[in-house]
Amino acid sequence: MTKCEQFDVVIIGAGISGAIMAQQLGAQQKKVLILEAGTGTDGRFFNNNDKKGYESYMDTFFTAMAKIPNAPFPNNPNAPQPLVTDTRNMSDGKPITNNGYFVQMGPNPFASTYTRSEGGTTLHWLGTCLRMLPEDFKLKTHFGHGLDWPISYDELQPWYEVAETMIGVSANARDQNYQQIDNPAVHIPFREGYDYPMEKIPQSFLDNYMNQGLQGMSVTIDYHHYPIKVVSTPQGRNGMPRGDYRPVGAVGNQNLGQRCAGNSNCVPICPIQAKYNALKTLAQAKTTGFVEVRNQCVVSDMALDEYTHEVKTVIYKQYTDTQTTDYEVKTVSGRIVVLAAHAVENAKILLAAGIANSSDQVGRNLMDHPTMLTWGLMPTDIGAFRGPGSTSGIPSLRGGEFRRKQAAFRIEIGNWGWSWPAGAPISTVPDLIDNKNLYGAELKRAISSVYPRMFRLGFLVEQLPDPNNRVTIDERYKDQLGNYRPVIHYQVTDYTRAGMAQAKQVSDELFAYLGVEAYTQYKQSDPGYVTYQGEGYSYNGAGHLVGTHIMGFNAQTSVVDKHQRSWDHPNLYLVGCGNMPTISTSNPTLTMAALTYWAADNVLKALEQT
């Protein structure tokens, strides 16, 4: 530790929130350093001799047997990442300590993952860009549980617009305000005259089939009728631009990816980057000339100034490659430090440094969308396995009075048949050959008559903030660089389980309405198997990790204030989904991005004041 480099702002993490922060600050000529724990591609699309580009992720993906969300991204023991295949059923009561990155204490396994590489989890996200409902910001006030946000929908609204433009979201505002749904709880006010930068992504044949098939359908909860409406989903995916908007193509290969081409592979990786990823924002940040991105630098500690309580230095381990444990310890300092390392990693770093935790809320209130799947065969060919993973959903039950008793949920219509619930076709076709003894023309017929009818729904059920669902650290569990592995306590409570039961009921009615031949099966051996009132249900992870350093109204009950600044340290800002006090029913990235634009604005003001 010889010299300590100085920056205006040091950002920890090169995912979407770090990239947004860097781009906004760099554009105002603030000198910014981003420290990224994982490896990166430095803006290359093609491999260049031994330097890997984005295309190397495709190579890894093609030959990966399990095409899980993190399949394309290198296994890096110096910055390990969780995998969905690491979990197992925990009904035996034993913790999972030696399988994968997470240490899972249960009682239920936490099933979601994230990506530790330059670009972060947006490398494998689906691109769903839903806004939250106004009532989602005031759960405590409306329903008597959960938490209120210190910021309202109306305050966040302009930042939603910024985020939608910068990410490049394709949607029509007249669909997304949900005025067409006869349930005022879900209505979202949009600014008069506003529209998204690109037209809505065409809805799949399945979406349109369902939209017609579900005309007139409603469900009843507590004597209230809720209409079932299929609505196009806003997506961070290049479509047909409106006006002067110019879609941003692939980083390092601009001509590629200016429009979605239907590769049907958004998760785990869009081969042409028609789907937004944070590499695009990072590239924009770098072109300001004020932003440096340093990959393979894992932040392990932060030191405080005794008197001001400001973060004085950021301490990190820079490793030379992923295969050895050689590293050097370095320190940098910034007038402002922004922690943008992801909900779990942010909490881990704060706990390791022992800072920002006067509220004892760091690591607590971990949430996800336990995602319950139902699947079956449509009576007719609906062209499964085509297009973006999901192009529509049913948002009718995202809000309503029932939230006093049970979780709300959003229904996602999956375009890829049984690929999620059954691994179709790769995992299912061998059975036709080995056990059903089909070959030649019969085998062809079996595949071509069944697979295009495969259909599945996903129910993204909300969780409430629960201080016992938490990330902690433990001296016994460290990775090979000596950094902590996250120790996770997690439970799916009855509020959410009741929502799952309600979701299954809705699914049954919907299948009956459409004449779907159901194949849904929840097995006791499923990692996410839970029971509610005697019935079994299984959840999966949605990859929506929220709430480990929540914002709030005061320093006693929350980690950051409304401005996304740590209550305890005046020059420390936290960004990312960890700031969200509740998860509600929207995929959190858009809201997190909006909050990050707001946070960047606050950081700029703070820099100008000092």
The site for another protein (CB under 8 A) is made up of 46, 48, 55, 58-59, 61-65, 67, 199, 202-205, 208, 238-242, 246-247, 249, 252-256, 258-265, 269, 271-272, 381-388, 391, 415-417, 419, 425-426, 429-430, 433-434, 437, 439-441, 443-444, 447-448, 451-452
**Closest CB 519 distance from another protein, rounded Å:** 17
Given the complex with another protein, which of 301 and 381 has the nearer CB atom? 381
| Alpha helices (H) along 273-379 | 278-287, 343-353
Q: How far apart are CA 546 and CA 560, in angstroms?
A: 14
Phi then psi for residue 455, to 5 deg, are -150, 140
Q: Which residues contact 327 (CB under 8 A, 6 or more apart)?
A: 78, 317, 318, 319, 320, 481
Reported as half-sphere exposure (CB side, CA atoms, 13 A), residue 521 has a value of 7
Residue 530 CB neighbour total at 10 angstroms: 23
Distance of CA 179 to the CA centre of its chain: 26
Q: Which residues contact 244 (CB under 8 A, 6 or more apart)?
A: none
Given the complex with another protein, which of 211 and 491 has the nearer CB atom? 211
The first and second tokens of residue 366, run together, are: 């971990």
Given the complex with another protein, which of 1 and 441 has the nearer CB atom? 441
- Radius of gyration (C-alpha) of the chain in whole angstroms: 23
**Closest CB 418 distance from another protein, rounded Å:** 11
Instruction: Please check whether residue 146 is in contact with residue 135, taking contact to mean a CB–CB distance below 8 angstroms.
Output: no
Q: How far apart are CA 137 and CA 132, in angstroms?
A: 8
**Closest CB 417 distance from another protein, rounded Å:** 8
**Closest CB 197 distance from another protein, rounded Å:** 11
Given the complex with another protein, which of 129 and 274 has the nearer CB atom? 274
**Closest CB 241 distance from another protein, rounded Å:** 5
Instruction: Write the DSSP symbol of residue 565.
Output: B
**Closest CB 515 distance from another protein, rounded Å:** 18
Length of the chain: 610
Given the complex with another protein, which of 138 and 259 has the nearer CB atom? 259
Helix axes 16-27 and 589-609, enclosed angle (nearest 10)? 40
Residue 2 CB neighbour total at 10 angstroms: 5
**Closest CB 42 distance from another protein, rounded Å:** 10
**Closest CB 72 distance from another protein, rounded Å:** 9
Given the complex with another protein, which of 448 and 480 has the nearer CB atom? 448
SS3 312: strand
Given the complex with another protein, which of 56 and 89 has the nearer CB atom? 56
Q: Which residues contact 213 (CB under 8 A, 6 or more apart)?
A: 513, 514
**Closest CB 52 distance from another protein, rounded Å:** 13
